[in-house]
Amino acid sequence: MSVAAMPELNLPVFEPGTVWLVGAGPGDPGLLTLHALNALRQADVVVYDALVGPGILEMARPGAERIFAGKRGGKPSPKQPDISRQLVELARAGHRVLRLKGGDPFVFGRGGEEALELAEAGVPFRVVPGISAGIGGLAYAGIPITNRESGQAVTFATGHSATGDVPDAFDWAALARGTHVLVLYMALKHIGTIAARLIDGGRNPDESVAVVANATLPEQRVLTTTLARAAADVAASGIEPPAMIVIGPVVDLHAVLGQGKAQLPW
């Protein structure tokens, strides 16, 4: 479907010399927003992250330049200041620049940093939210992050700091006590340390935990365990990032709702 085929939606025109910070969702191309698709069909340059799959990139306008700007833990990656600077330079050169980020650009996606850089440089930009893996990815795994009986409060947290270590700025005891459901991004590497801190803070060692890897994709994998066994079970399973971790009683619903996977597009 072309942009011209959707005039009744009044989708915005991607002007030259501007940057759109767009969330591509957790992986399934069907979870793109219409604004994201509109951006892909007009952009001159697509600067994309590691978690943006080929099925989404194939929707880009023919002839659009693709620039990889993915950051993966433990591997050589572009530096964030360099990425932000490149967005400014590409826009000043008159390009329609699409900064395509997995999930939502403002949910542990460093989109705020890029938006600030663009604002300070005087470059016009638009932010297009996307479905975060902490919501959409867990839904595909049959885990509702809220449930009237067992999930009335949710906390989203990152599993590593800017240095790659477990965040020390958190009050882990408060996190342990203060929420029914805890959703962790980028936490697989430190699951043992995080689990120990939560247990020390009062969380039940037998509480249910789910690890959802490659969420919303055909290779999606769900590991269910407990807080006390999480580190050992993750190591034994060989499960690898990208993965979300959810802790709380809502995980128990996966046993029933996870069967809905058979009804998904893949």
What is the set of active-site residues?
A: 49, 71, 186
Of 29, 77, 74, 90, the C-alpha closest to 50 is 77
**How many other C-beta atoms can be found within 10 angstroms of the C-beta atom of residue 42?**
19
Q: Is the dihedral of CA 161, 163, 164, 168 positive or negative?
A: negative
Of 185, 207, 206, the C-alpha closest to 251 is 207
Strand ranges across the sheet with 181-185: 154-158, 181-185, 243-247, 208-213, 221-226
Residue appearing with tokens 């919303």:
216
